[in-house]
Amino acid sequence: MASSDYLLKQEIIDELGHEYDGIKLRIFPETSDEDQKLFSNGGLTFGYNDLKYGSCDACWYVEEEWKCPYTEDKISKRPIIAVEATDALNRGSTGNAQYQRFHHALGAVKNGLIGIYYLPEKEGQDNLRSELYGMGANASSIENGFYLINQDIKEIKKLLKSIKDDCSEKFIGKKLDSMNEKFTKWLKEEYEGSWDTFAKKRSTIIKDDYIIKYSARNKRNFTDSSQRAGHIAVGEMYLTKYFFPDQKFYYLWPRMTKEDLVYLDENKKNDKEWNLLRREENVNITTIDDLRNVPQDISTKFMDVKSKPLKGDALKKWYSAKNKMEELLRNNEIYIDQDSIIEYNNKETNKQKRLNNF
């Protein structure tokens, strides 16, 4: 039986062809690892600010000179549209797994291209997470390019036509308006149109000049290969970043210490997800050691369960500690030592370039 990756790539070729009026398609067989190379080296991956983002499944380009923002090399092919495709909806993915591949097309968007996250809908059933519409629309508002959420392959063909007809700005504008409308409708239906209501239900704390999103991540999540916490954490990170695009974002993991963070920084240097978490602009990984005025009983409970699976008594301790921590953070009785985080992140060991690790 053909894999979903093969079927989606074949759909792109069958519906759109290898060339559209001079705009050419770069796509590789599912068995190839060529997509993991940078676009400037013949692949389907884009980097930005020394970060390598996920590989895409297809990219349309024209034969024109392009200066890559991440390498400053000039190449003879200028990319226009990059697509990340997933059959998640047809495989029953209705949860946050849909966020986990959001960053694959994001590298292209940061480079000023059109990035498309293509999730064909299950026949007769649309279970796309509406959060994606807000993430894409807000990414389009602050990044160099445009991020479109798409469920219809024919819409991509219309976009290609609009580019050739020199009316892509109008096409993209209407698409972004539609995405914003869907997102606004979802926020109203799910959270009464209130960000405060959203925050209370989604482990988020909104301050005047920054956002806190907390979760139960611990060091083992990133060192045990049987766990996919890196993918999940990256998805949650981008959801929060682009829900609040103008705010500094503290991603709080109270089961982790600064020592744990140092260990992971040293031992996960070449890990794609870890680098995204640590180096994404306006995102700060925050540990229990970065909080001030934490009552001893809360700290003790977090440390008691820092390495344990959250079930039984450990789960009860987690909920007890995190509920009290959230209350005190909202009331400003506990606060984040922002200077401590800045000092650590500015150390030379955390400023090293990653291009040679691409």
Q: What percent of the chain has pLDDT over 90?
A: 77
Three-state DSSP class for residue 68: coil
- Tell me the mean pLDDT in the region 240-246: 96
Q: Which single residue is written with the structure tokens 């103008």?
A: 246
Q: Which single residue is written with the structure tokens 């994404």?
A: 280
What are the domain boundaries of the chain? Answer: 4-189, 202-357
Query: How many angstroms separate the CA atoms of 116 and 136, rounded?
Result: 9
Provide the pLDDT for residue 146: 98
How would you class 332 by CB atoms within 10 Å of its CB: exposed for 0-12, middle for 13-18, buried for 19 or more? exposed
- Tell me the mean pLDDT in the region 16-34: 92
Calculate Rg over the CA atoms of the chain: 21
Cβ neighbours of residue 218 under 8 Å, at least 6 residues apart? 253, 255, 256, 260, 306, 307
Provide the pLDDT for residue 269: 87
**Residue 206 pLDDT more than 90?**
yes
Provide the pLDDT for residue 353: 45
Provide the pLDDT for residue 118: 96
Query: How many angstroms separate the CA atoms of 339 and 224, rounded?
Result: 31
Query: Model confidence over 264-306: pLDDT tens digits?
Result: 999 998 898 999 999 999 999 999 999 999 999 999 999 999 9
| Average pLDDT of the chain to the nearest whole number | 91
Cβ neighbours of residue 118 under 8 Å, at least 6 residues apart? 8, 83, 84, 85, 86, 150, 151, 153, 156
